[in-house]
Structure 1
Amino acid sequence: MLVRIGLLTEGGHPYASGETRLWCDRLVRGLSQHEFDVYTLGRGTRREDAGRAPLPPHVRQVRTAPPWTAPDGARVGRTPGPRTYRRRDRHRFAGHFEQLVTALCRPGPAGDTTFADGLYGLAELAGERGGLGGALRSETAARTLEAACRAPGARRSAHRATVSDHLALTGRLERVLLPLSLDWYGADGLGAADLCHAASGGAAALPGLLAKRFFGTPLLVTEYGVQLRAHYLTVGGTALGTPARSLLSAFHGRLAAEVYRQAALVTPGNAHARRWQERCGADRGKLRTVYPGMEAERFASVGEGADPGDPRTLVWVGRAEPAKDLAGLLRAFTEVRRAEPGSRLRIVAVPARDPRTAAYLAHCRALAARLFPQDAAGRAAGGGPVSFEEVGGPGAPRLADAYAAGCVIVLSSVAEGFPVNLVEAMLCGRATVSTDTGAVVEVVGGTGLVVPPGDPRALAEACVALLRDPERRARLGAAARARALELFTVEQNLAAFRALYLEALASAPVRRESEALDPDGDPLPFAHPAEAHVPGHWTAAARRAAPRPTPTWAATAAATSGGGRA
């Protein structure tokens, strides 16, 4: 069955690097029996200038939104649409925007649709008038927001909002609501898709919400890291004041609830993400846990080999970030050295891409020098108890070589989503010691040792127990590899989404072509050639040639909007 899928991404496939781009690329290439249209919300011009990944022939088109405004207010792109509205349109905008911000300023009762009514009203206005343009930065928007913040029943934090908070919030809303002003909803865009698949929640799912609203296109949402949780973790580091942060968080919470309510299916990547989605209002009947898929072949040479690794070496692999708690691991290793004087710790980090990561890695190097001062000479010669290396360096030219260097792989994080590095270690057949955070227990499933996060002594005791017991290490490593091959491979991931696409389409209402109906709305016999229903090369041609009915809203948007570009 040939299905046309609109894949919705945010700053990812086919431009960005990282796990999200790799997952989308594997999904598109692995489901070659379907057609894909890729829609990407841009985050800047640097990634686009670097070029995009080569795409297979069944990707029909790639549309990229204009780059967003930078967080500090510097313009890095333009928002599509007219600069001003006429009086009647300004009145419509004020009414819909008032509904939207009123829902943010005060808690609504269960089943309240004020937020959704305002959101879809703005979408209709943007479609008919070619975008929201500067309306969200207009005086009308600021005054409407101020009135909602000062209205009876508004939250205390909203009452404390100042003019600068109002302006900052409307600027952020302009960025998040950018999909409302794009020209992705015409007869050759999302209106022609059989299914929308958002690779994350939040703003990336907004085009899918509009396609569901105006075309009845079923929406599938995949979240390996819950966007709402990511917003809560990062909004505190912004320059926004407390009232603006509170209102922006309320917006993202309302948007997440609406996405989950409208989606036909929601696929969390683990039970940790599933719990977040349920707390945000996702219906349990729509949730299907689908684990990320890893390329097992990359680690087959280690996992299937006979070399168990250096029996005295612990290995840590990952990105050097504060949440990984490398400092706690170094303190735990002091206890390991007391119990096992010949033990070593190899820290293999992904090359630093930002000053914060580089600064934290330098801090950890300095801490290691203080904790093991007597071994400074040996460390300089490469033989000290703690070594800092990079993936791609002489000691670890490949990621698999990093895991092969030791007999126990350690994960010391205090905050974690889906532990990709832990799955890689399991595919390598290595025993693991991990902290109980995020989806770690779900991934390990009894094939490794798990200790409380932030407890260096417990971490050290678990490491010493495995260093002293080679037979236990071998049993745990073999069980870990078998579990990873059963649950966390690319093949398992593709099989799951192949079935989910059919499930989402089966539960969607039937969409009839306008050419197959007579003027009274009754089906026309023999409207489609019989060979169009027989699998073959003519099937795809017939589907592409058959036009889809275009609602007035979508036709107006396609004709007038100056937004996204193919």
Structure 2
Amino acid sequence: MRIGLLTEGGYPYAKGESALWCDRLVRGLAQHEYDVYALGRTPRQERAGRLPAAPAVRSVRTMALWTPAEDGPGNGRSYGRRERRRYVGCLAELAAGVCGDGPEHGGADAGNTFATGLYGLADLLRAHGAPPAALRSEAAVRALEAACRAPGARRGVRQATLRDHLAFSDWLERALRPLVPDWYGPDALGAADLCHAVSGGLAALPGLLAKRFFGVPLLLTEYGVHIRSHYLTTAGAPLSAPLRALLAAFHGRLATEVYRQAAVITHGNAHARRWQQRCGADPVRLRTIHPGLDAHRFAAVGEAGDTGDPYTLVWVGRAEPAKDLVGLLHAFAAVHREEPRARLRIVHAPPSPREPADYLAHCRTTATRLFPTRLFPTRLFPTWPGPGTGPMGQGAPAFPVTFEEVGGPSAPDRTGAYADGAVTVLSSVVEGFPAGLVEAMLCGRATVSTDVGAVVEVVGGTGLVVPPRNPQALAAACLALLRDPARRARLGAAARARALELFTVEQNLSAFHGLYLELMSRAPVRRDRDGTAADGTPLPFAHPAEAYLPGRWTGRLDRAPAPVPAGLGPPVGAGATSGTRPHRDTDSGGIGSGDA
């Protein structure tokens, strides 16, 4: 199967979780062929270089959204008067869809207006190319201004000024660059059997056009819902209120159209599913496929059965305000008053330019204030071998809190951090899919978490969950586990079993493989060499779906199967095969790989 993988700001450039997931996908499903279509957000990504290409990746095509307009696609082309009027008319429809409130507020059907304008622009660009200055023309800015002033426009965009109109037009020129016809031909997306978009934002635009021009089915995967990510990333941006409203409206309309056109929409948890449904996704087409982690990294710790230091709490993650480390320190202060031997290890990832530089310093200051006689500079005393030891020797006050960086001498990797503690704590106030919590579960550790995002769905009944922003409840749960070793062991074993069942790379790849086969079995074959009728009509199901039943043969293939007593074998025609076990489809994987 030939798959067009559509990414934005991620694979094959970024080295974060999204890029790692895409890399595992193309390497784990090597029986398919992948063509990568990547949208670049910043020049820093391209300077960092690409990830090593997997054997299944046939080609990588990129488009930079950060370059100036004169260097962008379509440079040097010009429109006639008729085409320019049509271009401005389509842009006016697009702007009306962005600015309109929609039928739920008594206005026009803004969603359909947005889609009409978007596809009208795509048809025009495919026929005539993209003029570099069309979106910056006076007529285009006037069309946007008229949409903002029209009756029924959103309240937030009515006060937009000329500066806001120019800024949004500049951003829109970059956002609509994926509409140019370079990727839409019989040798590019037109030759794909399936488009797989890993985001519901601009990355899905090529998938919308591939479906419109060639009938290629679109599969959408959102482990982080795009519209939610947009709200979070622009919360602190220096934007005016009308410009912020215009950008949010565009992303909302685009997400709704992508959800409407996608054949199947996958998500990683119920929290993301609720966001998708609120944005217009049809529940019938929603499937849950949990993210997969490499369980082999944590096998040694998880299978050892050691519960770590019985008085140590461990927190692992990025030091940012959403993790509420200040609340965790206040909760640990209460724990330490009840159990003086308790210690807290805060193991944080190396800081990035996007993180607040002063937050970690603020957490250190808070810890110094909470433990004035016991806390020492971590650069001199990063950690201590156990309770009851300190910088003055045996019997000196213990070092209750440490701040350690992953990759440093005290915490060379995350696995070692989980192994050294008895309880892993998550104190976030905002969380999507808690990958760090899954890592702790794979290590067989008991966990205490706050009820945010997908935490309850991930933990199930294998850990303690408390309300967010409640240090007293967090402290009580930590004390309960520190004082009960048998309960910690039971919860840790159950957590590891749950993680191995639901959150491994193997289950993730199996689910997507089955989904590929299901979508392929529905779609007709468009290429002549693959099978068409005498009149040229594409034949559906010309690609027979593969049959995949996980399991092993019970004996050697050259041996005859053992005779089955009468009445005990499967009924005639049931299709049972000796040595195979039935494939059990669970809600976590969405579609079983044996469904095809």
Hey, what does 2:387 align to over in structure 1? none
Write the deviation string for residues 355-397 of structure 1: whole angstroms up to 9, x where unpaired.
Answer: 6343211111111111111013486534410000011111111
Contact 2:520-2:545 at 8 Å conserved across structures: no
Deviation at 1:183, TM superposition (A): 1.0
Q: Distance in 1 between matches of 2:170 and 2:238?
A: 13
Match 1:494 to one of 505, 509, 518 = 509
Hey, what does 1:545 align to over in structure 2? none
Hey, what does 2:54 align to over in structure 1? 56
Deviation at 1:514, TM superposition (A): 8.2
Contact 1:4-1:36 at 8 Å conserved across structures: yes
Hey, what does 2:458 align to over in structure 1? 443
Hey, what does 1:96 align to over in structure 2? 90
Contact 1:132-1:180 at 8 Å conserved across structures: no
Q: Distance in 1 between matches of 2:467 and 2:531?
A: 63
Hey, what does 1:554 align to over in structure 2? none
Hey, what does 2:101 align to over in structure 1? 107
Contact 2:175-2:202 at 8 Å conserved across structures: yes
Contact 1:430-1:480 at 8 Å conserved across structures: yes
Hey, what does 1:211 align to over in structure 2? 210
Hey, what does 2:74 align to over in structure 1? 81
Change (3 A) 1:182 1:68: farther
Hey, what does 1:33 align to over in structure 2? 31
| One-letter identity of the residue aligned with 2:310 | P
Q: Distance in 1 between matches of 2:545 and 2:290?
A: 34
The answer as to 2:123 corresponding to 1:124 is yes
Write the deviation string for residues 151-207 of structure 1: whole angstroms up to 9, x where unpaired.
Answer: 222223222111111111112212221211251111211110000000111111111
Contact 2:346-2:401 at 8 Å conserved across structures: yes
| One-letter identity of the residue aligned with 1:500 | L
Hey, what does 1:543 align to over in structure 2? none
Contact 2:10-2:18 at 8 Å conserved across structures: yes
Hey, what does 1:9 align to over in structure 2? 7
1:436-475 equivalent positions in 2, closer than 5 A: 436-475=451-490
- 220-229 or 299-308, which moves further after superposition? 299-308
Q: Secondary structure at the match of 1:231?
A: helix
| One-letter identity of the residue aligned with 2:99 | C
Hey, what does 2:594 align to over in structure 1? none
Deviation at 1:141, TM superposition (A): 1.2
Contact 1:168-1:240 at 8 Å conserved across structures: no
Kindly name which structure, 1 or 2, has the bigger radius of gyration based on alpha carbons.
2
Hey, what does 1:230 align to over in structure 2? 229
Hey, what does 2:284 align to over in structure 1? 285
- 366-375 or 463-472, which moves further after superposition? 366-375
- 251-260 or 392-401, which moves further after superposition? 392-401
Q: Secondary structure at the match of 1:133?
A: coil
Deviation at 1:434, TM superposition (A): 0.2
Q: Distance in 2 between matches of 1:25 and 1:175?
A: 27
Change (3 A) 1:307 1:145: same
Deviation at 1:235, TM superposition (A): 2.2
Deviation at 1:511, TM superposition (A): 2.7
| One-letter identity of the residue aligned with 1:194 | D
Hey, what does 2:367 align to over in structure 1? 368
Match 1:409 to one of 417, 424, 442 = 424
Q: Distance in 1 between matches of 2:306 and 2:531?
A: 65
Contact 1:165-1:240 at 8 Å conserved across structures: no
1:189-208 equivalent positions in 2, closer than 5 A: 189-208=188-207
Where do 5+ consecutive residues of structure 2 fail to align? 385-398, 547-596
Change (3 A) 1:519 1:342: closer
Contact 2:69-2:174 at 8 Å conserved across structures: no
Q: Distance in 1 between matches of 2:126 and 2:538?
A: 30
Deviation at 1:534, TM superposition (A): 13
Hey, what does 2:436 align to over in structure 1? 421
Where do 5+ consecutive residues of structure 1 fail to align? 70-74, 536-566
Contact 1:201-1:256 at 8 Å conserved across structures: yes
Hey, what does 1:221 align to over in structure 2? 220
Deviation at 1:94, TM superposition (A): 0.9
Q: Secondary structure at the match of 1:282?
A: coil
| One-letter identity of the residue aligned with 1:445 | G
Write the deviation string for residues 209-264 of structure 1: whole angstroms up to 9, x where unpaired.
Answer: 11011110000000001000111122232232111211221111110010000000
Deviation at 1:26, TM superposition (A): 0.4
Contact 2:290-2:508 at 8 Å conserved across structures: yes
Deviation at 1:134, TM superposition (A): 2.3
Deviation at 1:12, TM superposition (A): 1.0
- 166-175 or 286-295, which moves further after superposition? 166-175
How many pairs are equivalent? 522
| One-letter identity of the residue aligned with 1:330 | L
Deviation at 1:19, TM superposition (A): 0.4
TM-score between both structures, scaled by the size of structure 1: 0.88
Hey, what does 1:163 align to over in structure 2? 162
Hey, what does 2:586 align to over in structure 1? none
Q: Distance in 2 between matches of 1:443 and 1:232?
A: 24
Contact 2:517-2:545 at 8 Å conserved across structures: no
Deviation at 1:283, TM superposition (A): 0.5
Q: Distance in 2 between matches of 1:86 and 1:324?
A: 55
Q: Distance in 2 between matches of 1:326 and 1:522?
A: 62
Q: Distance in 2 between matches of 1:522 and 1:289?
A: 35
Change (3 A) 1:158 1:45: closer
1:255-334 equivalent positions in 2, closer than 5 A: 255-334=254-333
Deviation at 1:57, TM superposition (A): 2.2
Q: Secondary structure at the match of 1:197?
A: strand
| One-letter identity of the residue aligned with 1:476 | L
Q: Distance in 2 between matches of 1:242 and 1:233?
A: 15
Q: Secondary structure at the match of 2:121?
A: helix
Hey, what does 2:550 align to over in structure 1? none
Q: Distance in 2 between matches of 1:175 and 1:144?
A: 18
The answer as to 2:66 corresponding to 1:68 is yes
Q: Distance in 2 between matches of 1:319 and 1:96?
A: 44
Change (3 A) 1:522 1:97: closer
Contact 2:526-2:538 at 8 Å conserved across structures: no
Cα RMSD after superposing both structures: 2.2
Q: Distance in 2 between matches of 1:37 and 1:457?
A: 52
Change (3 A) 1:359 1:521: same
| One-letter identity of the residue aligned with 2:28 | G
Q: Distance in 2 between matches of 1:478 and 1:394?
A: 29
Deviation at 1:427, TM superposition (A): 0.1
Contact 2:367-2:375 at 8 Å conserved across structures: no
Contact 1:99-1:114 at 8 Å conserved across structures: yes
Deviation at 1:76, TM superposition (A): 9.4
Deviation at 1:520, TM superposition (A): 5.1
Q: Distance in 2 between matches of 1:291 and 1:42?
A: 26
| One-letter identity of the residue aligned with 1:101 | A
Hey, what does 2:593 align to over in structure 1? none
Q: Secondary structure at the match of 1:113?
A: helix
The answer as to 2:472 corresponding to 1:478 is no
- 88-97 or 470-479, which moves further after superposition? 88-97
Contact 2:314-2:347 at 8 Å conserved across structures: yes
Contact 1:133-1:181 at 8 Å conserved across structures: no
The structure with more helix, counted as a fraction of residues = 1
Contact 2:327-2:469 at 8 Å conserved across structures: yes
Deviation at 1:48, TM superposition (A): 1.9
Contact 1:67-1:76 at 8 Å conserved across structures: no
Q: Distance in 1 between matches of 2:376 and 2:289?
A: 49
Write the deviation string for residues 258-306 of structure 1: whole angstroms up to 9, x where unpaired.
Answer: 0000000000111000000011110111000000000000001110113
Q: Distance in 1 between matches of 2:528 and 2:312?
A: 65
Change (3 A) 1:140 1:378: closer
Q: Secondary structure at the match of 2:245?
A: helix
Q: Distance in 2 between matches of 1:252 and 1:518?
A: 41
